[in-house]
Each structure stands twice: as C-alpha cells, then as structure tokens.
Chains A and B, each alone.
Chain A
C-alpha cells in the first residue's frame, strides 16, 4: 500500500493541528497517488515520478499556507512574510525550541555538554579577568610601578631594596610624582588590645607618600604628615574600613582616639576608604619611621617600594633614568652597590608575575574543553542532521536558498548554545565558590581574586561564548546538511541509504579535532604530574617528619634587650625539653620554605671586593644551638654551634654548602672570617652544613650563613630578630604537639600569643600548593576532555554502525566473519585515532613554550610522556569503539536485510 512520503507527513505534523491532520493527510495521499500515477503513465521513471510528485504535492500544500499562516517558519527567501531579520530569527528560534522539545534526549545531552564547557570557561575567565585584565582599584592604576633591586649576576631581577638606595633614587629621579617605601613587619601583624578581645591585625609600615602613590585619600581624618616619619612622632595609625567597622563600630569620631598595637599606644589619624587594597591585606598602616642608622644602610636589603609615574613619562624612560642613577651609585659606593641596579615593573606585573603563566595555561586548557564540547555537540548535530535530510530537502525543493536553510539550522544551534550557556552560568557560579575555597595562601594576595564573580562583564562574555560556541558547533552540520549534493531522498526510496561521504568526513574531522585537543590536555596534565612528582621528591635538606613549628613574635616592650630574648628562649627550651614526647627543640629567624628570609652583603676577610665580582651576598639566619640537630641538617665540615658560643666568646658563623661552593671553590672555608651587612664584627666560620631549600623546592639553594642566637647581631633589625620560629621535634605525629607547645609558651610568658602550630609537612605542602592546584585543575580538565572525546567517538562509531547495518548485513550474508566486521570497524576508528593523536602531538609541541615555565625537572617535549599519553588515549578510545563494534558483529543478516 502506498504511504504518504515521510517528509510530507512531517511537514503536516508541524504545520497542522493534530485534530485536523487526518483528513488532510488523506487528501494529500490521494493527491500523491494520482500525481505519481499520472507521471508514471507519461513515461517517467518510478523514482522520478515519486520524487517530483512529492515535491509538487508539498509545494501545492505548503505554498498558500505559508503565505498566510504566520506561525510557520518561513522557508523561502522569496516567501512574503514579516520582513525583518529579527522576526525571522524569532520564528526560527521558536521553531528550534519546538523541535528540541520533541527530542529531549538529544537536547539535554547537548545542553549538558555545553553547560559544562561554557561553565568551566566562564569561571576561569572570571578569575583571569579579575587577576590579569581588570584595572587595579586605583586612579590611573597603570601608572603605579613597583621598584626593586636587580642583581643580574646572581640571576635575581627583583629583590628588596636597601634604605639608602631608596632615598637616593627618590631624591634624584624626576620620572615619578611620588615614591614610597613600605615594609611588612616581620610578624606580619600587630596584636590589637584594649576595647574587646585581643586580635591580630595585619599591618604595613609605609612612608608618608604611600597613599599619594596609590592615588587615594583617607575617607575620614588625614594622611600621614612627613614629620611623622621620624622616630618619636611615629605613633600614629590609619585603619582600614573593615577594621573601623568591625572593631570600632564605624565610629565617626574615631579620629584622635588611641589604640594599643603590640602594647604600644598609637593615635588613629584616619580611616582608609573601602576600596583601599594591598596584596598583604593590611588593616593598619603606620609610618615606616626608620632611624638614622637604618636610613643609611646600603648593605641590608629589606624595603619594598612603589611609585607613581608622572603623566608624560613611559615606564621605559623611568627605567632608563633609574639605571643612570644606579650606575652613578655603583661608582660612588663600589663596595655595596657594585653589581646591582634599580628595576621597575608595573604594580600588576609585580603582583601577578608568577601566576600569569599558570592562569594562561588554565585558560587555554578550559578553552580546549569548550572546543571539545563544541565538537561533540557538532557530532550529535551531524548525526541528527541526517535524520532531518528530508525536511531540508523539502525546504530546498520549496525554494529555500542554502543561506536560508543555514540560517534556520544555525538558529537552532544558537538556541541550544544559549540554553547551555544559561546552565553554564550556574556551573560557573558554583565552580567559582569551590575554587575560591581551595585557593592556596600564595594566591590570596592577587588583585580581585576574592571578588571574582559573575558580574555584568562575565555575563556578557558568557553570552559571547555561548553565541560563539553555537556558531562553532553549528556551522559544520548546517553546511553539511544544506549541501545540495546531500539533499536527496524526499521519496521513500531514499530511506536507509548511507549518509553522504561529506557528512561522514565532517564527523571524522570533528572526532579527530577532539582527539587532538584531548591529547594536548593529557600531555599538559602528564607534564604537570611528572613535575609535581619530581618536586615533592626533592630532598628539602632536612627531615620534616615529626617536626612542628610555630612563629613567635616577642613584643619589643618587654624583649627590647638581647639578653631578655636569650633568657626567654632558655626558659622555653628548658621547659620543652623536660616535656615527655619532645626530643629536640630549636629556634630560627628563618624557617625553610616559610617565606621569611633576609639577605645581607657578605664581606670576606683578605678578599678585596672587585667590581667584576661585585658585592657578595648571603642570607643571614639567627639560630639556636640545637637548630641543625633538630631539623636533621647534616654537618659537612667543621662543627655545629655549642653552648659555649656566647656573647663573651669569639663571634662564629656556620655557612651552607652553597656558600662554600660559590665563595670558596676548592678551598676549606672553615677558619676564614666574614662579616655580614654594615659595621659588622668579624665572624669566624666554624662549620659547613648541608643545603636546605628556603625559597621553594624548585628554587636553587642560595648561599646562606647561620649565626648563633646567643651572640649579638643587629643587622637583621631588632623586630626581625624578635620574630622567631620555634621548631620542635617530637616523638610522635599526634595533634597533642600543638597543646604541648602552647602550654610551654604560656607557662614561660602567659601574655605571649603564638601563631598557629603547624607540622613541617604542612609548611612544605603549602609551599607547593600553587603547583598542586595547577596540576589538579589541568588534570580535571583533561579528564573531562577525554570523557567527552570518548563519548564523541562512541557516538560517531555507533552512528556509523547503525548507518551501515544493511551493508554489514550483506557482507555477513556473503560470508564475512564477525572478526572481519570487527576489523572493519576498528580500522575506521583506528585511523581517526592515529590522525587525532598525531595532530595532538603536533599541537602540543607547538605550545610547549607556554607551559614550560610551570614545569620542574622535565622537558616540555619529553618523548616518554608523549608516548605514554598517546598509548593511554588510544587504549581509552578502543574501549569507546568496542561497544559499537561488538554490536556490528551481532547484526543478523536476515533482520538487517529485511528491516533496512
């Protein structure tokens, strides 16, 4: 029995209310039979009669309806309709929605995949935008620069500045409208007492120009006066908006009140505006107020500096001017300034320098995931487009131009994409919350990181992403299915035919692209994994197990004298040593991997500084007698400190192996004499100890000196000297250690507050947290990418098998074995995999530069890693192909030939 051509049936279903369809379908069938019979009788071939009759019928049915019925999608450019493009788009969109509602499985898959991709991209964009692109919260923030000291010979490009250099730079330069120095107090915070619970508040010591450089003024009260930058008049403070509201209940009369920081009284002279922001998040600003001795220091480098460029100067001109000034200073003070000079970076570069490559790689990775998501949806659409070929054919037959068809199909893609984008926003919103929660402490000083969120800018970009993805994944299917060469099959005979070669080629290309992108992500993730693994296996130079540490800041009021500090630690050590479970106890001014270290100029006896060699430097660390044994740092030569190294005995020092290698190559340094910083006495080297990593497990060990805590050494600065980390080696790992330390400290000085008690392993973990985050995030993206890619490959192969069922049935009927069929399917998947992997390797190699700065002890083009991930990806794709392949072998020739 003749049936109504499927395309016409569908047209009817779309355009006519259900209750009216039956008689019209009857009419159409009757008409179709007549038309076909008439053509056949006139000598037309069967297929032509069928085809043309269907087209004619469709035309005769649709023409007038489309002219009148505005709820229908316009199908031809020539068709009269409400003319504007927007009306057409609206119609296409509502039509697209109707179609999607009819295919909930397809629609939800596509939307979910896109939501994942767009959500991840939006979240990452929001972070990158906040950190790298958004202007700093200052007026003309791009004119604010950071100053640092460079020592090219040591490979250091941006270090802290000696005070005398800073004052010379400020006096002689003309490129800056203001230049300010700042110093984070060694303990980082003051304890605020009086009026409520004692509280630690982050503090920053600044010179009076600081707010001028940032371009802000106090919201209440006044800025620091220049005369307040001198010792004696410096007991004034500016408090942050947050502290003002939290601690002082937003008291409008706060100016003039006094507060107590570290037991010293300060007068509050102003409140900072809410938009004040600085990486260390200070809540209190106090004057820097260096005394005359400190102001003249050229050998001790501890100041940070920021400046504002005058409006007509470029950063390069300012840098050049500072270079000239530095060169003159090098001539004037060859001993201290021989090989260092001023360096200038924009404030943003200083803040985000280390993070920028990581964020860029993460953004790249997430864009790869988005592209894979696009390719995946495109594959879905292509498969679906084949099913819609008759509809498209019909539209073409009715006079729709190719561009009109493409527009219709693209609108449907956009509907999918924008729906995906809407869900993506939800994902982005939750992802941002999670990411903000797991950010390592090192990232907390990044501009905008805490406020990164879904603001209008991110919303706009997400909409942009959605539209772009709609176009990207929609264009290939739209072009492929509107291709006139593909348009066949209005009539029934076209049913079951294999899909066109071109559509198949599109699908293969998309899967290859997905495979290539996945491989790139996998390779990146593997490189980071190997880096991370090598990093955590770097020996730190000490034994971290069973060590607990805690930072103690001794207030200057009661511990101003060296003897007081010594007495405190003697009492504390005695107390701790008698505590059960404590094996050793020590203290240091600079704990490995904890970020606090100070570098001083090093003078070696009988060695004249030469301009070629430049000034020598070394870190200086004050440690207690038992420090090396407590941390498990090995002795290389000479001896450790003993109880006899006191104030009354000869001054001694111990150096690390790196210092011995650099400054006494081929010699024995033990017995030589050195001095550190300005006006220091000679100190005899009594021992050489093993290297410990201080700046990071991935950084080279720098020359360092250790000085006994009992001997007076003033060049670190007194506050630095009083900020000490207590190190306890206990017999167990238990949480009891924290309370042991706390109770011991409070029994010696009940008024002393100590910082958190951490295990040494926690300190190490924190130092590698940014790398861990990079690795975890890239791996997560790579995992999603591989899953999506496998889904895509699975989809394509399933579709191919379904399409070729008849062919496979014929082959099997003619004697092909299941193994041969399997081979056929795997060959097809195999060449796609090989091509995808090859393209992926090429792409990854082209991008090695962008990731190499994140790697450690591994080459970005390591062939073993590429080989491994290629095999891994190939293995995973085999699994994805196995299911459709086995389905192909189970095809029953009889069923295949009958039903298809």
Chain B
C-alpha cells in the first residue's frame, strides 16, 4: 500500500489536475487547470520538475501526441495516471476525509 505521506502537496495538486484533464493532460494545460481550479499560478518550470519527479516515482506515464501548428509543428507530451497514482490519490482522499470528519462545525464560521 502506498504511503500517502510520500505525495507532496504540489504533487497531489498536479496529479489531480492530470486526472481532471483525462486525455488532454500536457504541461500548459495542467498549469491552466491548476490555475482555473485553485486560482494558483504555478510556473511552467515547477510543473515540469514535478511531472518529471512523479514520472520517476512511477505515478505518471507519458506519451507524445501529434504535432500542432500553434506549437511550431512540435508534439505535445501527454501525461496519464498509473494505477498506483490512483491508489495513492484514493488513499490520500480517504485519509483527509477521515481527518475532516467532525471538524466541519469548527470551521463552519470561516466558510
């Protein structure tokens, strides 16, 4: 079983963005998705670094897409989750929900 603590916070965010994008998960789109969902502007550099790391850890796999004109005829590199990433996300979500249980009321005032 994957240890959820193995997943950094930003890695968590990137994995979720890849998950949300489905087949369209390449760097620029991932960055935009994160911004759209969280309002947080990540630099492309940090996206690449994180994607590299996640791929090394075995959470992500990538494939090359077709070249497009707007990219000067260059291919995109699409990312997709590996099963262990899904497991890790699921586990992480479970752990967080568990932790959230019973504290809704405490934070209700702030929401």
A24 touches B48 (CB 8 A): yes
Interface positions of A from 5 to 35, Cβ below 8 Å from B:
20, 22-31, 33
Cα A3 to Cα B70 in complex, Å, equals 10
Residues of A within 8 A of B75 (CB): 22-23, 26
Q: Chain A: which residue is nearest B46 at the CB level?
A: A64
Query: Do B49 and A29 have beta carbons less than 8 Å apart?
Result: no
CA distance A27 to B74 in the complex (A): 9
The answer to whether B93 has its CB under 8 Å from any CB of chain A is no
Q: Does B28 contact A (CB under 8 A)?
A: yes
Q: Which residues of B contact A66 (CB under 8 A)?
A: 45
Cβ–Cβ < 8 Å partners of B27 in chain A? 23-24, 27
Of the four ranges (under 10, 10 to 19, 20 to 34, 35 or more), the interface on chain B belongs to 20 to 34
Residues of chain A within 8 A of B69, CB atoms compared:
1
Name B38-89 residues within 8 Å CB distance of A.
43-49, 64, 67-72, 74-77
Q: Which residue of B lies closest to A58 (CB)?
A: B45
A64 near B49: Cβ-Cβ < 8 Å: yes
Contacts of A384 in B (CB 8 A): none
Bitwise, A40-72 to B at CB < 8 A (1) or not (0) is 000000000000000001011111111011000
Question: What is the distance, in angstroms, from B79's C-beta to the closest C-beta of chain A?
Answer: 10
* A28 to B49 CA separation, bound complex (whole angstroms): 15
Closest chain A CB from B15 CB (angstroms):
17
Q: Which of B48, B64, B68: most chain A CB closer than 10 A?
A: B48
A29 to B73, CA, bound (A): 10
A2 CB-CB contact with B under 8 Å: yes
Q: Is the beta-carbon distance between A65 and B72 smaller than 8 angstroms? A: no
- Does B76 contact A26, Cβ atoms closer than 8 Å? yes
Q: Given A29, A63, A64, A68, which contacts B72 in the complex, CB threshold below 8 Å? A: A29
Of B49, B64, B71, the contact of A65 (CB 8 Å cutoff): B49
A727 within 8 A of B: no
Are A23 and B49 in contact (CB-based, < 8 A)? no
**A4 at the binding interface (Cβ < 8 Å):** yes
Indicate the member of B43, B75, B77 with the most A CB atoms within 10 Å: B43
A24 to B77, CA, bound (A): 8
Do B43 and A26 touch (CB < 8 A)?
no
Is B72 a contact partner of A23 (Cβ separation < 8 A)? Answer: no
The residue from A4, A31, A33 contacting B44, defined by CB atoms under 8 A apart: A31
Tell me the smallest distance from the CB of A5 to a CB of chain B, in Å. Answer: 12
Neighbouring A residues of B46 by C-beta, 8 Å: 63-64
- With beta carbons under 8 angstroms apart, the residue of B43, B64, B70, B77 that contacts A30 is B70
- Cα A278 to Cα B55 with chains together (Å): 77
* Chain B residue with the shortest CB-CB distance to A2: B72
Q: Can you give 27 A-B contacts (C-beta < 8 A)? A: A1-B69, A1-B72, A2-B72, A3-B72, A22-B64, A23-B27, A23-B77, A26-B68, A26-B71, A26-B74, A26-B75, A27-B27, A27-B44, A27-B76, A28-B44, A29-B70, A30-B28, A31-B28, A60-B43, A61-B44, A63-B46, A64-B45, A64-B46, A64-B47, A64-B49, A65-B48, A65-B49
What residues of chain A have their CB less than 8 Å away from a CB belonging to chain B? 1-4, 20, 22-31, 33, 57, 59-66, 68-69
- Nearest 5 A-B pairs (CB), nearest first? A26-B74, A23-B77, A64-B46, A26-B71, A64-B45
